[in-house]
Structures are given as structure tokens and as C-alpha cells.
A and B are shown apart, each in its own frame.
Chain A
Amino acid sequence: MKLALFTERFYDLVAPDIPNEWDVEEVLDPLIDESDLVCEAILGHIPVIWPVSHSLCYDFLRLLPKTLQHLSLEQIPHWIGITLDCYETDGLRAAQRFMQDDIENYLKKLKGSGGLPLASIERKLLPYIRGVARNELQLKQGKTCYTDTTSIFVPEELRFSTNNDVNFLLYKLILTFQWGFMACKSFINRAPSGFSHIECDEDTLWIRAYLASFEEPLLARDIFHCLESFRVRIFLTQELPGLMRAAEKHIFPQLLLKSQKHPLNSLQQALIKDEAELFTLLTSNLTDRECEKYISGEASSCDSAEITAKLFRTLFQKDVEYLPIITLPFQGTLKLQAIETAKKIQEQKMGEQFADMMASYLLTLSKKELGELHEQDKRDSGNQGLAESDISMIMDSEFSGNTEQEKDAPILVSINNEQLEMPVELEEFTKSFLDEFGHLPAHFLSSAAGKAGQAMLEQEVSGPADNSTQPKSTLSYDEWDYRRQGYRKSWCSLHFKDLPPIRTQFIQNTLAKYHGLTIRLRHQFEMMRSQERFVKRQREGDDIDFDALVESISDSRAGISSSDRLFIRLKRDERDIAVVFLVDMSNSTAGWVNNALKESLVLMAEAMAVLGDRYAIYGFSGMRRSRCELFHVKHLAEPYGEQVKERISSIVPSEYTRMGPPIRHATELLKDIDAKVRIIITLTDGKPEDYDDYKGKYAIEDTRHALLEAKTADIHPFCITIDHKAREYMKHMYGPANYIFIDNVRKLPQRIPEIYRVLTS
């Protein structure tokens, strides 16, 4: 391809950007000798990379001559995909390094010349372990295998066997085994009875303190780990016999070869022997009774703690330096400190949640119980409200959850010396908290009191916003304050803004990129429209409705007036649907996300054109309550034309995500629309959040409330999100089954129309 033509095509693809000609020619010039086919293919990648990062795009082109020596044309799209992933997670430098240096590694991985990469099976393993563990465990890459009880860390790649099926089995075994430690309660949190002599503060796992109390903690740790592994092994043999049989067949024999010269060797080898040999191996270390206890699965982690002390006495050699044993791959390492850290984070999270719940509860009391005190307080000291110390709270601390009775006993809280029973939800939560952490740190209680006090203060200070000076293109909306269980009146101003229509190649590129998909979607949507069915009992139609005819004759015989609706007609189901799409334009969508959102809108619009459903598209963003912004892309009645296309192209990431006002506005819009079904679909990449205090629980609760308002108006809200951490709060905000999570941004354009299809048929 001639350089001039090549350059011109390049400019078309990146418009409206006008990059420096010199830069462009420099990177394209070395490529002009490639065949037209190659050049076309290269150009095809530009719209993928350019919007994400211009420099990355230049680098891609600059390195292409070298890349093409290694990769075939077909391999390039996948390679670009990885590069962009790299860019999105680790930034430009990392992506450049990947493109420059990692082609060989990439190829190796692709060919599987090494072992089995985690990435290739993660999507299968993650649901597996979550199912087995019955909770939302995370899977993470780590140099060694271990668990901190919220995540399981495994190596990036396994080269245990040349057979990747065996490698997969080992991955599976590792994960299951690490979960086994949790299921067997190996990580003893609090001192078991009889062990109270070990000093251990609240933040330390008791077992860590215990192991540290030995003269050689590493030896104690290894013994304990070994014993616990043994317990897990027995537990898994009972619980998941299929897995253990496979492991005995394909994995254990290979491990047997790796016998070590180590005092714990025979104990460790017992882990991978079958039952007959087990006993002999164990009895060299344990008494017969102990052996039986372990083998029957009745031993507990306390037994292991006890036996650790016993074995330690026989195995410990004072003057010899102890070298830790090399653990078996599925055993991993015992990282008790990591567990403590994870627990701490978890506790903090749940504690804050508790404080929030408690604060809302306190506010419901405010008028009666707290009010008087509040008044008096003001009089006494001229204080402006309740400070932290003004509400004194004591929780019934007798609870330890050990006996059934205690579990059922109500938890009482004394507020300003008056005993109150907590609402069920709060009580349940408190119990599960105590169950998990054993105690409720006092600072969460005082923080709850503080939050409540703060909210009461704001309640007094904040009047309605002054809206006399607002221009016409602005509306004001209330905002829900969960702390006061009421609205802040006219709290937010929503400004209507226009997106400048820009002429770009975006639409064309998107349509070209998704040519096949567009056709498929159109077809699918066509099917939805033409959902034909026979409707009976029509005044006129294509055929006689015999049921109706007979009924009518019978009716007239019976002497009552008969119906003249005697025909069957083939009818297309009328889709009487009105939808508002709200598109998150917050700055966190910059780059790939924004691009994918726009692409999705284009595909959606193309497909909707066949369907005839009424729809509107608005973008939203803004900063602070005084400047929430709604960007017009398409009104409900507006046809999908050039103008709309141009506006879709010009959707750009802007500021923050205050979700309440746009949702309330969409509700207002749809309220007046006469349609059988009315839907608000929000496309977002994360939590509601604004620059001011619109964050966390406050933001979530306001959004939730805005959605409830929509539901009350018989409008169905639905959310499509790509936030990885979205899970916990999405359900709370939208209600189960009213949101969907898409974990791969690249699938967005394909998934959104699909979801819409499911949602409305």
C-alpha cells in the first residue's frame, strides 16, 4: 500500500483526532511493503487500540515488523487483547514491555510448551471451588500455595506433569485442600479450654501465638501443619471421595518419590499413602488411640495442637539447627499472619456495616429516647448536637455463642442506661459478627453513636436548597438520607446538557467490527418482534375459532346473548415497551469501558430499530449535588438517526456518579408514558459515588431508594454493571434478579442486547 493512502486511511480511522503527520508516517512507513491483505488487517486493529491509548497504538505499529516475524495474522487479535488487558491492569509501561519482550513467552504459553497456565482454566476452577466451599472465595496468583481464608493463592502455572490433565487435577486438589483447612477449622481463633495459659491478644490467631510459644516455632508449625493436613486428607476422603481417589491414582505416586531426610518425613509421607500403610507410618509417631482418632475423622484441631506439643518434645534437638520440611504441593504453606490480616479487613468491613445499621437504629429512636437527652444537653453546654460521647451504649457482653441457649438469647443494648431490645435484622447481624470474631470492639459502638449524632446535627442544619435562581434547564430532586430515614428536600440540581455531535468513524468502525454480530442480533430481535400467535375470539380473522363458535351456539341455545367473537387471527404480539437507558459517564469509565459502552449502544440501537420498542438514552455524570448532569443522547420519541449516532460517538467520560437524580428523572419521564412495560436500564461500571459525601452506604441507600420509587411507579429498574466488586451491594440496591454482572468488558456489546432480549420476552 502506498504511504499516502495508508496514512489517509489511518486518519479516517482515528478521526476526529488529528495526530501529528510526522508520527504517523514514521510508524507506517516500515509497513508499506506488506501485502494489501496484511495492511488491511493492520488497519483493522487501529480502532481497537487507538481509543484506549494513542501511544500504545504507535508502539504497536512500530513493533509490528518484529511482531509479524513471530505471530501470524490470526494470532494478532488475541495478542492485542492480552496487551490491552495488560494496559488496563498494569498501565502503559507494562503493556509496552509485554509487546516488546514477551512475544516468546506468549507463544510458549500459547503452545503449552510449559505446564498448565492458571489463566486457561481459571473460569472453570473458580465456580468449582466456590461451589465446593459454598461461598465467594477468590482465586489469586501467588508464588506459593496458601489461603488467607478469603482467597486461595495458587501458582500462575503448574508443571507437575507433562500431562495437563494431571496438572489440572493438581490445581483442583490444591484448591480443595486449602478449603479443607477452613472446613476443618484448622486456624484456631480462640484458646480452646485447657490452653488458657498461652497469652494471646484479640487480634492474634490463638494458634499462631501457640506455635510461637515453642522453643523452635518452625518445628512446631511443621508438626501442626502436618497433623492438620492429615485431618484434611481424611475429611476429604469422606467428603469428596472421587477427588481423593483420582489424587491417589495420579498425583500421590509421583510425590512418593520425593522422600526427604527429615524428622517429619514419615508423618508427611502418611499423607499420600493408602490406608493400609498409613497406620504403620503413623504409629511410629502417634499412639494407637490417637491414630484411630485421626483415621476415623474424629480428631479436632485441638487434638493436633495437643499432639504437636508431645511430638515436639521427642523431635526437638536443642543443638541442631532446624530446617523446615518441604511441604507437599497441595499442602501449601501455613500463613497464619495472612489470615489475621484478612480477618482484620473483614472485621473492619463488617464492623462499619454494623455501625451504620446501629446508627440508623439509633435515629429511629431519636425522638423518644434520645431526644430529651439531646435537648437537655444543648441547654447545659450549648452544644450543637450529640457528640460521640453523648450516647452511651453498652452491649450485653455475656454472649459467647457456645451453647444453644446463648445463641438464642436476645442481645440487649443499653443506651443511656436504658435497656432496649434490638430489631431482628440488627440482632442477627450482631450475632453473626460475634460468632465470627468473638467480640465486638467498642469503637464500632461509639462510631455508631457518632454517626447518629452527626446525622441529627445535619438534619437540623440543612434546609432545602435554594432553587429560586436556577435556570430553566434544571430540575431539582430530593435525596434519601438513610440516617434520618427521610428525604433531603430538593437536594440535587439536575442540569440538562447536550453532547456536541461529532463526526467520527466510530459508528462505521463499530458496525464493521461487529458486522456478524449485528446481523445476528437483528435477526434475533426480529424473531422477538414477530412473536406470532393465534389469538382467539376475534371479531374477524383468518380462521374460525371452533371453541368460540360452539360456545356461542351453546350460549344462544341456553338463551343468553352470544358473542360474535368467533374468529382466530394470527397476531403479532404487540410489544408495548418503553425503556430509558442511563449510561454512566463517570471518569472511571475512561478508556476501554467507555468504548465498550458506546459500542454496546450502537449495537443496541441497530437491533432496536427492528423491534420498534420506544427507547431513550441519557448519559449522566456531574459533581456535587448542585451540579448533577444529564446528557441527552436520544429522547423517547426521537428517531435513531445521524444526530443520535453522532451523540453516541461523543459520549466521553466526565466526572462522578451520583445515581439518584438520573434515576428519579427517568422515573418521572416514564411515569407519563403510556406503555404496558416500562423499564430503566442503568449501564455502569461501579458504585454510586460523588465528590462530596455521596459515598458508601449513603450513596447506595439513596440509589436503592430511587429504585424503589421507580418500582412503586410500576417501572422496572435493571442494572448492567461491570464492577468486579459489585456483588454485595447490587443485590441490596436492585433486589435479586434485577441486575447482571458482566466480567468481561469485551463481551459487553454482545451481552447487552442479549440481556435486553431475555428481559423483555
Chain B
Amino acid sequence: MSRKIIETRLEEHLITEKPYYLASGKEIEIALSAHKNGLPLLLKGPTGCGKTRFMQFLAWKLGRPLITVSCHDDLSTSDLVGRFLIRSGEAVWADGPLTLAVRSGAICYLDEIVEARKDTTVVIHPLADDRRELPVEKLGELLSAPPEFMISVSYNPGYQSVLKDLKPSTRQRFVAISFDYPNPEMEAEIVCKEAGVDKKLADSLVKLAGMTRSLKESGLAEGASTRLLIQTGQLIQDGIDVHTACRAALIEPLSDDPELLAALQEMVSSVF
């Protein structure tokens, strides 16, 4: 019996243009070495601090396609591994992103892994240890990952819900890189570059972000991310006045607490 396999175009996942990424530590070296040694990668860090961008850069650097899966509640094993489809009366197999990555020696990035259910995430276990293999039960195949293949997952440890913690058995398979917001000079450089704003404005935005990030104990779990700064910069660049842009893109997304919002607003009016 013949089994047709749907070919997926891999080129789409290849990153040809060098993504802009400013390294803040030894993360690139570590990741390259992990890749060389066939070790899986765990990226931890607050939202919007450059994890996704880092993966894009890494994939570019390694010249491998980057296959990203955003994890969610409903993600099933079939969604990752693959399934049969019917094409003109015939059953054809379509690889899931994980299988595709293993076959082609690509980099598979599971974003926000804690969002996926635990019975789904177990499929990565044999890939993440030294077996480096993926059983595709429906095909009766056991795929061995080529040396170029790499699996990488991200998660944000700031969550409070205990339901969304990473199991130690999962966690301890990875080489972990901890991300944080870049230092002020670098962050300003990033904001300049990404939002196209001038240095002075970028500096002020970064200063503001720094202020919001020191409010953990006052009830603000996460301060403004690099992403928020870039977005604020973009609004300003589009002609929206600074105060309005900050309010809409920087402050309001952070909290609903009226007193905190008021305090944040005061910071804005002091800085600008």
C-alpha cells in the first residue's frame, strides 16, 4: 500500500535576511554550542524581551529553517507530529511542524510551552534528551534527528497560576538561557532601530520603562517590555503626541489599578 506524503515547502521557513539582534551576554555562544552538541534550549524571560527575535537570529546564523509553534490549550499531539488527510479520495500524510523540523534538520521553536497541555508536551521528551528521536506512531516510524536539528522552547516564569508551571522532568532536559531586558544603552539602540525614533526619545522611553520595572513590590508584576517601547515609539513616529502615545501603548497595557495608573501617568509627565 502506498503512502503519499505531502511535501511542505521548507524554504518559507528559511530566514534569508539577517535579523536585527543585539546580544546582551553570551547567549549566542551558548546557543551555538548547544546546537553543536545536540542539546535542547530553554529560553526563560519576561514577555517582549527578545526571545523570538533571538531564535530568528540563531536560525539565520545556523542557516537552518525556523519552524515556530505557538503553544495553546488545544494543541494536540497530531498538531505537532502530523496526520493523514484525504486528497482526491486518497489518504495522504502531512507532517506536523515538529516532524517536519526533525526530517529537515530545522530548528523547532515552541513558544510559550506552558500554554500547551502536559499530555501534548510529552512528545518532545525523547527529542529533548540524548535519544534525539521522534516516534511517529501512525506511520510506524521512528525518526532520528539529524545533527542540524534543534528543539527550543520558551516560557515566562512570571506567571502566578500554579497550573502553568513547567514540570521539573521537562525542565531538566534543557540548556537554559535566561533573558531579561537589555541594559539601557542597548535597549535605547534597539528602540531607535526598530521604531525609527531618535536617540533622545528612545532614551526617554527606556528611562520610563526602567521606572515601571521597579514597581514589582508596589503591585506591578511586569514592567513595560521592550516590545511596548517599540510600539510606543511607532505611534509617536506616526504623529501621535507623546503623552497620548505613552498612555495608550505603554501605561494602559500594564495595569488596571487606578492608583498605579495614576502613578505611571505621573512618571510620563515627569519624563516628557
A interface residue numbers (CB < 8 A to B): 123-128, 130-136, 172, 176, 239-243, 246, 533, 536-537, 550-551, 553-560, 677, 679, 716, 718, 727, 736-737, 741, 758-761
Given A124-B259, A759-B160: A130 touches B215 (CB 8 Å cut-off): yes
B260 and A127 within 8 A (CB):
yes
Residue from A131, A239, A554, A679 with most neighbouring chain B CB atoms (10 Å) = A131
User: How would residues 143 to 179 of chain B score, 1 for a CB under 8 Å from any chain A CB and 0 otherwise?
Assistant: 0000000000000011111110100000000000000
Does B1 interact with chain A (Cβ within 8 Å)? yes
Interface size on B, as a range, is 35 or more
A127 to B264 alpha-carbon distance, docked (Å): 8
User: How would residues 191 to 220 of chain B score, 1 for a CB under 8 Å from any chain A CB and 0 otherwise?
Assistant: 000000000000000010011101101111
Give the residue of B1, B92, B158, B220 whose beta carbon is less than 8 angstroms from that of A554.
B92
Residue from A123, A241, A741 with most neighbouring chain B CB atoms (10 Å) = A123
The dominant DSSP class at the B interface is mixed
Instruction: Point out the residues of chain A lying under 8 angstroms from B165, CB to CB.
Output: 716
B263 and A131 within 8 A (CB):
yes
Minimum Cβ distance to chain A for residue B202 (Å): 15
B85 and A554 within 8 A (CB):
yes
Please tell me which stretch of B76-84, B107-115, B231-239 contacts chain A, meaning at least 4 of its Cβ atoms lie within 8 angstroms of it. Answer: B76-84
Could you list 21 A-B pairs, sorted by A, with CB under 8 Å?
A126-B218, A130-B218, A132-B267, A132-B270, A135-B214, A136-B217, A176-B270, A240-B271, A242-B268, A242-B271, A536-B74, A536-B76, A537-B76, A554-B92, A555-B138, A558-B93, A559-B1, A560-B138, A737-B157, A758-B161, A760-B163
Give the residue of B85, B86, B90, B269 whose beta carbon is less than 8 angstroms from that of A246.
B269
A555 and B84 within 8 A (CB):
yes
Count: A-B pairs, CB below 8 Å: 119
Residue from B85, B162, B210 with most neighbouring chain A CB atoms (10 Å) = B162
- Additional pairs, 14, CB under 8 Å, beyond known A130-B218, A242-B272: A124-B259, A125-B263, A127-B218, A130-B214, A131-B212, A131-B214, A132-B270, A243-B269, A551-B83, A554-B91, A558-B3, A736-B158, A737-B159, A737-B160
Does B23 interact with chain A (Cβ within 8 Å)? no
7 nearest A-B pairs in the assembled complex, by CB-CB distance: A554-B84, A557-B91, A131-B211, A243-B270, A127-B263, A558-B91, A554-B91
> Which of chain B's residues 53-76 have a Cβ closer than 8 Å to chain A?
73-74, 76
A128 and B217 within 8 A (CB):
no
B264 and A758 within 8 A (CB):
no
Minimum Cβ distance to chain A for residue B272 (Å): 4
A230 to B131 alpha-carbon distance, docked (Å): 67
Instruction: Point out the residues of chain B lying under 8 angstroms from A553, CB to CB.
Output: 86, 91
Instruction: Point out the residues of chain B lying under 8 angstroms from A558, CB to CB.
Output: 1, 3, 84, 91, 93, 138
A240 and B270 within 8 A (CB):
yes
Q: Which residue of B lies closest to A757 (CB)?
A: B161
The dominant DSSP class at the A interface is helix
Instruction: Point out the residues of chain A lying under 8 angstroms from B271, CB to CB.
Output: 240-243
A134 and B214 within 8 A (CB):
yes
Does B123 interact with chain A (Cβ within 8 Å)? no
Does B262 interact with chain A (Cβ within 8 Å)? yes
Instruction: Point out the residues of chain B lying under 8 angstroms from A243, CB to CB.
Output: 269-271
B78 and A551 within 8 A (CB):
yes
A716 and B162 within 8 A (CB):
yes
Q: Which residue of A lies closest to B210 (CB)?
A: A134
Q: Which residue of A lies closest to B1 (CB)?
A: A559
A718 to B76 alpha-carbon distance, docked (Å): 31
Q: Which residue of B lies closest to A240 (CB)?
A: B270
A131 to B82 alpha-carbon distance, docked (Å): 49
Q: Which residue of A lies closest to B218 (CB)?
A: A127
A758 to B259 alpha-carbon distance, docked (Å): 21
Instruction: Point out the residues of chain B lying under 8 angstroms from A554, CB to CB.
Output: 83-86, 91-92
Minimum Cβ distance to chain B for residue A237 (Å): 11
Instruction: Point out the residues of chain A lying under 8 angstroms from B83, CB to CB.
Output: 551, 554
Residue from A240, A242, A677 with most neighbouring chain B CB atoms (10 Å) = A242
Minimum Cβ distance to chain A for residue B244 (Å): 14
